[in-house]
Structure 1
Amino acid sequence: MSSSASARATAIHTPEAPAPVGPYNQAVQAGELLFCSGQIALDPASGQMVGGGDVEAETRQVLRNLEAVLRAAGSSPALVVRTTVFLADLGDFAAVNAIYAETFGEGVSPARACVEVAALPKGARVEIDCIALVG
């Protein structure tokens, strides 16, 4: 396999989204694809959870964080092709889905999976990751 600029992976970082809480990047760009790590409702400035357990407030912050990472890489919600939504309680599906549609409901919505999980980092109720096109 030849080594070329388009085949290299590039880490994406922006102070407009929370710093990673482990050994990973906010996103990695590989060619024209951007792989965004999962975001929870952390405030980028303080690193503290926002929403006080309100899944709607958490979802809005999660989407703000994802949008910041997308912008930092030269992408946008309109270029997202795949998301995964992780919920601590599948009973929150309708509330999360309504807010999710505000960001991803126009044009071609991304392919998506939504799963209930036993727990999320820092007691979050929702986490979303995505894959997007760049450029």
Structure 2
Amino acid sequence: MSKLEYPRPDGVAPGNGYSHVVTGAGQWVAIAGQVALDADGVLVGAGDAEAQTRQVFANLDAALKAAGATWSDVVKLNYYMTDLGALPAIRLVRDEYVDTANPPASTAVQVVGLFRPDAIVEIEAYAVIDV
């Protein structure tokens, strides 16, 4: 695990479940946006934001492990959702994975659609690991 820092910027409102700034030295790991496809490419949780988010985080977890990273190494998460109403379900699942005392920086964006019409959420991650 790399040593990450979470500076608090003066004059910026506190983040709700995210950090504004995360820094660290090490190797950069970029994980492509993950959707709720299982290992066989089957969509999990059609119409269910929480079920889809659980599969997305499971996919992110597998990708982090493949890179030799852990959730403690994650510095940034980008959330794309077709309805901002999914945000509470996303936050619920996210809090099972990230250190809520020092969460990664993040961005949440509502989009018109994802790569297929039954996908509700896509999340990409960036991590920094020791070399």
- Per the normalisation by structure 2, the TM-score is 0.75
Structure 1 stretches of 4+ with a deviation exceeding 6 A read none
| Deviation of 1:106 (Å) | 3.5
Per mean C-alpha deviation after superposition, the further-off stretch among 48-57 and 32-41 is 48-57
| Distance of 1:105 and 1:87 partners within structure 2 | 22
Tell whether 2:83 aligns with 1:54.
Answer: no
Instruction: Report the secondary structure of 1:83's partner residue.
Output: strand
5+ residue gaps in structure 1?
1-30
2:79 to 78, 81, 85: 85
Match of 2:37 in 1: 42
| Deviation of 1:107 (Å) | 4.2
Instruction: Report the secondary structure of 1:102's partner residue.
Output: coil
Relative contact order: is structure 1 or structure 2 higher (C-alpha 8 Å, sep ≥ 6)?
2
Match of 1:73 in 2: 67
5+ residue gaps in structure 2?
1-25
Match of 2:126 in 1: 131
Per mean C-alpha deviation after superposition, the further-off stretch among 98-107 and 35-44 is 98-107
Match of 2:7 in 1: none
Once superposed, what is the RMSD of the aligned Cα atoms?
Answer: 1.2
